[in-house]
């Protein structure tokens, strides 16, 4: 891509990327417009696909609603998305979880990725500046 | 009675490529990014001297060695950069006063958001193509003993006229010709960076020189 385009779209790219992975159960807060009013709506489900790169990155969230499978595709960098909250990190050995479409009930549940969910709660890594002493707590 | 002259402002630009853009509602829209050229007035043609009113603009600055001597001499005489591409467009004689040699054309007249523009350029060459791709002819059956899968079919009658009529469509080279895409909406124009975003696709590969004009339907309201 032309570097001038990369620069142009860089202002639209969200700096704080949502730390999401395939297999995560997430709650997506989407802004929707009804006439002139604007309100937020939550959508909860499992991420089965992350596709594309840059401004074009999308993720697909699947949930089963009243016995019918629903999949919604979101642009990661869309201003419509207020936030993406990870409720549970699932363990997955695939990049695309299409096999969940053929499953129902308990079989759709993924094993929890304990490492990922613990890592999120850990304090952030401190990178010491050069020539500065950092206190290390055991 | 003479026909009124069609006068339309023209500016030159370069296609940089396509991307997408989120508008205020948050919808993703496909856009093409165009970079405007220098668009400096190189010559003004007056009815008195040349018989018609027109403005010539230049783009695509090149090195001395890449221009031939007559072109180079012409531009050097007016103290202008080495433009590799010059284009002329007709204007109304009264408008000529607003142009001055060596100054850029005011593009803000046509490049405001939600304005419509026509963009012309040389399309991507597709090589030698058959009737199906070139003229959207239907192909023959693939089975039942048929062998006319993508054949052109009959090209005319027999004894009368006894020849193929001129202009008969035949397989030939496709693309690499001037194409105009009309009524593209201007999404954004960054004047300092000279970047123009229009909704939709424009002809040609990335780097193609393009002509941007106000949409013809808007030209004469």
Question: Is the predicted pLDDT of residue B14 greater than 90, yes or no?
Answer: yes
Mean pLDDT for B111-140 is 93
Write out chain B residues lying below 8 Å of A1, CB-based. 17, 19
Average pLDDT, chain B: 90
- For B169, the enclosing helix (H) or strand (E) is none
Give the model's confidence band at A123: pLDDT under 50 very low, under 70 low, under 90 confident, else very high: low
Q: Whole-prediction pTM value?
A: 0.81
Give me the residue spans of the domains in chain B.
Answer: 11-122+182-214, 126-153+160-174
Which tokens go with A61? 């969230």
Residue A105 φ then ψ, to 5°: 65, -130
**Gap between the Cα atoms of B192 and B180, Å rounded:** 27
User: Which of B16, B25, B28 is closest, CB to CB, to A5?
Assistant: B16
Choosing among A79, A81, A82, which should be mutated to test the B contact, i.e. which has the most B CBs within 10 A?
Answer: A79
Q: What is the pLDDT of residue A59?
A: 93
Mean pLDDT for B131-136 is 94
CATH class of domain segment(s) B11-122+182-214: alpha beta
Any residues with CB less than 8 A from the CB of B155 and at least 6 apart, and which?
B164, B168, B170
Any residues with CB less than 8 A from the CB of A60 and at least 6 apart, and which?
A47, A48, A49, A50, A51, A71, A72, A73, A74
| Interface confidence: ipTM more than 0.95 | no
Q: What is the pLDDT of residue B29?
A: 92
What percent of chain B shows pLDDT beyond 70? 97
**Gap between the Cα atoms of A48 and A62, Å rounded:** 7
Q: Which string of b and e fits B95-133 if b means at least 16 CB within 10 Å?
A: ebeebeeeeebebeebbeeebbbbbbbbbeeeeeebbbe
Give the model's confidence band at B221: pLDDT under 50 very low, under 70 low, under 90 confident, else very high: very low
Question: Is the predicted pLDDT of residue B55 greater than 80, yes or no?
Answer: yes
For the segment B16-47, what is each residue's pLDDT rounded down to a tens digit? 999 988 888 888 999 999 999 989 999 999 99
């Amino acid at each position: 891509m032309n570097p001038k385009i990369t620069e142009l779209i860089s202002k639209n790219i969200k700096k704080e990327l949502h730390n999401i992975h395939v297999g995560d159960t997430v709650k997506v807060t989407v802004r929707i417009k009804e006439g002139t009013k604007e309100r937020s709506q939550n959508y909860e489900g499992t991420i089965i696909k992350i596709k594309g790169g840059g401004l074009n990155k999308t993720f697909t969230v699947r949930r089963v609603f009243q016995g019918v499978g629903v999949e919604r595709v979101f642009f990661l960098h869309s201003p419509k998305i207020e936030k993406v909250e990870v409720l549970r990190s699932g363990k997955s050995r695939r990049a695309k979880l299409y096999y969940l479409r053929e499953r129902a009930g308990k079989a759709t549940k993924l094993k929890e990725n304990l490492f990922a969910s613990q890592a999120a709660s850990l304090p952030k890594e401190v990178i010491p500046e050069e020539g500065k002493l950092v206190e290390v707590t055991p | 009675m003479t026909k009124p002259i069609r006068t339309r402002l023209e500016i030159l630009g370069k296609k940089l490529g396509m991307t997408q853009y989120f508008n205020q509602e948050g919808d993703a829209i496909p856009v093409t990014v165009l970079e405007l050229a220098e668009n400096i007035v190189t010559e003004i043609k007056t009815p008195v001297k040349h018989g018609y009113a027109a403005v010539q603009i230049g783009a695509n600055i090149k090195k001395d060695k890449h221009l031939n001597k007559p072109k180079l001499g012409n531009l050097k005489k007016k103290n202008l950069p080495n433009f590799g591409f010059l284009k002329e467009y007709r204007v109304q004689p009264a408008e000529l006063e607003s142009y001055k040699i060596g100054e850029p054309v005011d593009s803000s007249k046509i490049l405001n958001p939600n304005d419509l523009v026509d963009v012309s350029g040389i399309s991507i060459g597709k090589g030698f193509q058959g009737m199906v791709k070139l003229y959207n002819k239907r192909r023959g059956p693939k089975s039942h003993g048929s062998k006319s899968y993508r054949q052109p079919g009959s090209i005319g009658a027999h004894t009368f006229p006894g020849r193929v009529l001129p202009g008969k469509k035949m397989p030939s080279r496709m693309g690499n010709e001037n194409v105009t895409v009309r009524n593209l909406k201007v999404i954004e124009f960054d004047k300092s960076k000279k970047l123009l975003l229009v909704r939709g696709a424009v002809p040609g590969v990335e780097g193609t020189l393009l002509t941007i004009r106000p949409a013809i339907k808007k030209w004469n309201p």
